[in-house]
Amino acid sequence: MKHKAEFFLSMVFFTIVIFSCSSLGKTEQNEADSDALESTAESVLTLPEGWNYETEITHEGSRSEGSISRLFYRYNEILPVFDKIIIGDIVFEYKPIVNIWDNTGYLQTGKTSDRPESSGSVSKSELESGWYLSHEADIKTGTPSDWVWIADEVVEARISPEKINDFAVIFALKPETTAPILLPTDN
């Protein structure tokens, strides 16, 4: 009976030590998670009114984890047809999916400090159409402040956010796929 009691006490002690150590690890992990959340909160992207930026994690927790980032204007997704979009001073570049673990979609690549030069005045017909062709460094006097700059391989323009997807259709720009590649274990 004495051996059973000693064995029982040693098991209780062992369990307490293991539980304490695992709790310590969790506390340290929770502190690390909190620090990560705080640093993420500090780097939250601030876009002009009406714009949203979302990132979806794909294959989370696997070695094939990646992400797809999307831009929205007034809850309408911006088609993945542009190589570059500048919203205010925030630059997004489109990265197509190559591998399932890639970070793909419209990725923030920085901020621009360049102030475009005036290249004439925006015409009434350009205001009505909601866009005009323009290099990144050019902006016409009278261009609405909410207009963005977009570019792909063949066209560059200043454009009203409400007209971006219409512009893509007019110029027959072909979207890249951002559909996640499913692993055989995904359902």
Nearest to 66 by CA among 56, 55, 58: 58
pLDDT of 18: 38
Consecutive 10-residue averages of pLDDT for the chain (187 residues): 50 41 41 38 70 92 90 93 93 89 90 76 95 91 94 92 91 65 47
Long-range contacts of 135-144, Cβ-Cβ distance < 8 Å, separation of 24 or more: 136/86
53, 70 Cβ separation under 8 angstroms = yes
Q: Is 3 helix (H, G, I), strand (E, B) or coil?
A: helix
Query: Cα angle at 106 between 104 and 107, to 5 degrees?
Result: 75
pLDDT of residue 6: 54
**Helix, strand or coil, per DSSP, at residue 122:** coil
pTM above 0.85, yes or no: no
**pLDDT value of residue 44:** 62
- Domain-wise residue ranges, the chain: 1-42, 51-170
